[in-house]
């Protein structure tokens, strides 16, 4: 059978069959005793002390879980610690000063290694520089930087002085930056002049200038000179050169501030069910304990490993598994700037080979691309250092799963398919690679201590194989504590759907649909709300729709995702225009440009379909489900309940022309 991408299915290989972890892996794994599942169940919530024990506390905590004010849970209350101390100082004290902390691979082939001592020095100096600018404990510092070492340095410098960071992905637009700074009332920004995109110099500073024009608050801005002579820039009022600032504090040390376990470590904006991005709040103790614990138990990372999560620090995956998790464990974390196909399609495998990477963690969207490019690229390199592979961000179907195992893992590496979210902070569903059988296409059972359930609308467990809603029925340390914008919104967004406060039942709703099999393995199917997952990035359909609706001549718009096993999800935008507005290329271009300006090119629709009207119910609701079926070529259900059923055929004809 050949699917629409031209891939040959080999009918003789049962792609979905389970695999046991190889004995050679189990022998050395961090967690191998299956009694851990029982132990966590019996000793919950105290079982989470295991995670907290991986950290160094300035003051021991008194209570593991404080649940008196659900759903506003508190973990490790009374405890005090500093995240940068945990990621740096304690490793120096343990005699690991010269151990590599970060190996950075720049876009132009630059390579830099920061030992734990180098990193600690850089973090201390920048922490002193931030203080000089006036940053105080609890001030939100926005970081708008690409994948250069200054990004983790700035994060840890903020953590050192107790200033929460808010990292905005460097590819987002000026508007997106301004919205996030405004919402967080952030008066400090660390950015750069620009960065290289496929070899070209790209101007980041001009985006910052545009954002600053719209901001009401005064902003002190630190600018990293990434491009040097390739992009000369001028610093204006309230703008400082990173190197100049740091030079003034050369050799200075800054005492790490003891933070309450529940003090905010960072804010991360993500898409939710409303058009506005939500500021997810993560605190110091529970978050750090949970990421350290999962880096150890799920990703099997050891201090002597070279570990590589090929994500961007601008999203939660990079926060938890490039910066905080691996550095808390004192391992070597690889950080790369660029794309997997530049200068050539073997870039990642060249990096794995040269650095003898032990554990590699990436997203299905990347694996699908590797698969399309062909096995000859990984085959050019020695990948035998790899011991474990991981994936995150969206479901991985069994074909790419098997390809990953075969061509990257040499057939012998276990794979962990890890399900989690910005809001869960750290991995919550995955096999434990030293214990559990892997089932390609299924993330696995909930981790010990995580009560994830797939339920129907009433909250009853669904039968194996049935589709339901993915919920978590008890709190966990890495969970978001609230939304920066407010507690009420936090409750409505995540807790109202499945909780029953009268019976003190508090269940977290993930927004995902899932199925579960007889062994309790969970397969996540995708979002059920107004969020679409494009290449592992969350976008709000409402946010995109409202941008389109603001374009001159547009009446209304509906945005859906078209997804398949192999292709990345594509954005389809259905747009109706005013009677006197001819829907032509100009309108199409302004739609695309507005989206790029308001959100960034990651939200650009693949297809824009003009239609005189959107299909609506008799009560006037846009039938998004139907539009999704149309985009996905699915069998359409009964359309007779529509006010304007004839429009569906017109839309289908329009799509066929595209």
The residues binding ligand WTA (CB under 6 A) are: 270, 315-317, 392-395, 417-422, 443, 510-512, 524, 527, 533, 538
Of 36 and 316, nearer to ligand WTA (C-beta) is: 316
Asked if residues 554 and 587 have their Cβ atoms less than 8 Å apart, the reply is yes
Min separation Cβ 97 and ligand WTA, Å: 32
Q: What secondary structure letter does DSSP report for 529?
A: S
Sign of CA dihedral 361, 363, 364, 369: negative
Directed axis angle between helix 585-598 and helix 174-183, to 10°? 40
Min separation Cβ 280 and ligand WTA, Å: 8
Of 191 and 317, nearer to ligand WTA (C-beta) is: 317
Asked if residues 409 and 438 have their Cβ atoms less than 8 Å apart, the reply is no
Min separation Cβ 603 and ligand WTA, Å: 14
Q: Residue 162 — left, alpha, or beta (φ > 0 → left; ψ -120 to 50 → alpha)? A: left
Min separation Cβ 513 and ligand WTA, Å: 9
Nearest C-alpha neighbor of 71 from the set 495, 488, 476, 449:
495
Min separation Cβ 441 and ligand WTA, Å: 10
Directed axis angle between helix 624-631 and helix 646-657, to 10°? 30
Q: What are 288's two structure tokens?
A: 């750090």
Of 194 and 393, nearer to ligand WTA (C-beta) is: 393
Q: Give the separation between CA 611 and CA 582, rounded to whole angstroms.
A: 11
Contacts of 616 (CB under 8 A, 6+ apart): 622, 623, 642, 643, 644
Give the Å distances, CA to CA, from 13 to 9, 20, 187, 436, 518.
9, 17, 57, 22, 23
Q: Give the separation between CA 54 and CA 302, rounded to whole angstroms.
A: 12
Q: What secondary structure letter does DSSP report for 201?
A: E
501-537 residues labelled b (16+ CB within 10 A) or e (exposed): eeeeebbbbbbbbbbbeeeebbbbebbbbbbbbbbbb
Min separation Cβ 63 and ligand WTA, Å: 28
Supply the DSSP string of 470-513, one letter for each residue: EEE-S--TTS--EETT-HHHHIIIIITTT-BGGGTB--EEEEEE
Min separation Cβ 296 and ligand WTA, Å: 18
Strand partners, 23: none
Supply the DSSP string of 264-315, one letter for each residue: EEEEEEE--SSSS-EEEEEESHHHHHHHHHHHHHTS---TT-EEEE-S-TTS
Taking the C-alpha atoms of 630, 635, 641 and 642 in order, what is their torsion angle to the nearest 10 degrees? 20
Min separation Cβ 86 and ligand WTA, Å: 22
Supply the DSSP string of 114-154, one letter for each residue: EEHHHHHHHHHHHHHHHHHHT--TT--EEE---SSTHHHHH
Is 169 in a helix, a strand, or coil? coil
Of 76 and 419, nearer to ligand WTA (C-beta) is: 419
Min separation Cβ 438 and ligand WTA, Å: 13
Min separation Cβ 339 and ligand WTA, Å: 19
Q: Give the separation between CA 453 and CA 522, rounded to whole angstroms.
A: 9
Beta strands in 346-387 (DSSP E): 359-362
Of 186 and 533, nearer to ligand WTA (C-beta) is: 533
Strand partners, 368: none
Give the Å distances, CA to CA, from 600 to 170, 319, 393.
10, 21, 19
Strand partners, 220: 188
Of 50 and 538, nearer to ligand WTA (C-beta) is: 538
């Amino acid at each position: 059978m050949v699917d629409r991408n031209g891939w040959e299915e080999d009918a003789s290989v049962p792609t979905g069959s389970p695999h046991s972890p190889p004995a050679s892996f189990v022998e050395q794994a961090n967690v191998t005793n299956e009694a851990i599942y029982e132990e966590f169940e019996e000793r919950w919530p105290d079982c989470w002390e295991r995670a907290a024990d991986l950290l160094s506390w300035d003051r021991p905590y008194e209570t593991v879980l404080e649940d008196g004010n659900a759903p506003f849970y508190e973990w490790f209350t009374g405890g005090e610690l500093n995240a940068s101390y945990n990621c740096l100082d304690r490793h120096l004290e343990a005699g690991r000063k010269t151990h590599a902390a970060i190996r950075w691979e720049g876009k132009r082939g630059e390579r830099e290694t920061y030992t734990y001592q180098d990193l600690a020095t850089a973090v201390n100096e920048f922490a002193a520089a931030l203080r000089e600018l006036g940053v105080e404990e609890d001030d939100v510092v926005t970081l708008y930087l690409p994948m250069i070492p200054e990004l983790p340095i700035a994060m840890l410098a903020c953590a050192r002085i107790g200033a929460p960071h808010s990292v905005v992905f460097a590819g987002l637009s000026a508007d997106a930056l301004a919205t996030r700074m405004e919402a967080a009332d952030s008066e400090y920004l660390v950015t750069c002049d620009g960065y290289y995109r496929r070899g070209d110099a790209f101007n980041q500073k001009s985006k910052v200038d545009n954002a600053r024009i719209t901001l009401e608050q005064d902003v002190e801005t630190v600018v990293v000179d990434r491009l040097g002579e390739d992009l000369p820039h001028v610093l204006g009022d309230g703008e400082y050169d990173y190197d100049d600032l740091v030079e003034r504090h050369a050799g200075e040390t800054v005492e790490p501030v003891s933070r309450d376990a529940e003090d905010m470590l960072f804010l991360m904006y993500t898409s939710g069910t409303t058009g506005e991005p939500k500021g997810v709040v993560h605190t110091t103790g529970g978050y750090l304990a949970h990421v350290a614990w999962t880096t150890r138990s799920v990703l099997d990372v050891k201090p002597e490993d070279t570990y590589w999560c090929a994500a961007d620090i601008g999203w939660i995956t990079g926060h938890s598994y490039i910066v905080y998790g691996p550095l808390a464990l004192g391992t070597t974390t690889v950080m790369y700037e660029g794309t997997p196909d530049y200068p050539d399609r073997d870039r990642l495998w060249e990096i794995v080979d040269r650095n003898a990477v032990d554990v590699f963690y990436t997203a299905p969207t990347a694996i699908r691309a590797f698969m399309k490019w062909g096995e000859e690229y990984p085959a050019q390199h020695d990948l035998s250092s790899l011991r474990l592979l991981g994936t995150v961000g969206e479901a991985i179907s069994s074909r790419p799963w098997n390809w990953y195992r075969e061509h990257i893992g040499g057939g012998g590496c276990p794979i962990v398919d890890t399900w989690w979210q910005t809001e869960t902070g750290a991995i919550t569903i995955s096999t434990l690679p030293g214990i559990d059988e892997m089932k390609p296409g299924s993330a696995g059972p909930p981790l010990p201590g995580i009560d994830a359930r797939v339920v129907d609308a009433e909250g009853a467990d669904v039968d194996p194989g049935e589709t339901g809603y993915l919920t978590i029925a008890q709190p966990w340390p890495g969970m978001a504590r609230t939304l920066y914008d407010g507690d009420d919104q936090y409750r409505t967004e995540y807790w109202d759907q499945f909780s029953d406060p009268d019976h003190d039942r508090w269940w977290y709703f993930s927004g995902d649909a899932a199925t579960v099999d007889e062994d309790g393995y969970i397969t996540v199917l995708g979002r059920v709300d107004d969020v679409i997952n494009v290449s592992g990035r969350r976008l709000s359909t409402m946010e995109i729709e409202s941008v389109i609706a603001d374009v001159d001549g547009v009446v209304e718009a509906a945005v859906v995702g078209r997804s398949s096993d192999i292709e990345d999800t594509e954005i389809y935008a259905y747009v109706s225009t005013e009677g006197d507005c001819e829907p032509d290329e100009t309108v199409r271009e302004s739609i695309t440009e507005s989206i790029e300006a308001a959100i960034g090119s990651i939200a650009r629709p693949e297809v824009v379909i003009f239609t005189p009207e959107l299909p609506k119910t008799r009560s006037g609701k846009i039938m998004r489900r139907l539009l999704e079926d149309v985009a996905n070529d699915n069998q359409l259900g009964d359309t007779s309940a529509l006010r304007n059923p004839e429009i569906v055929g017109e839309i289908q004809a329009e799509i066929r022309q595209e």
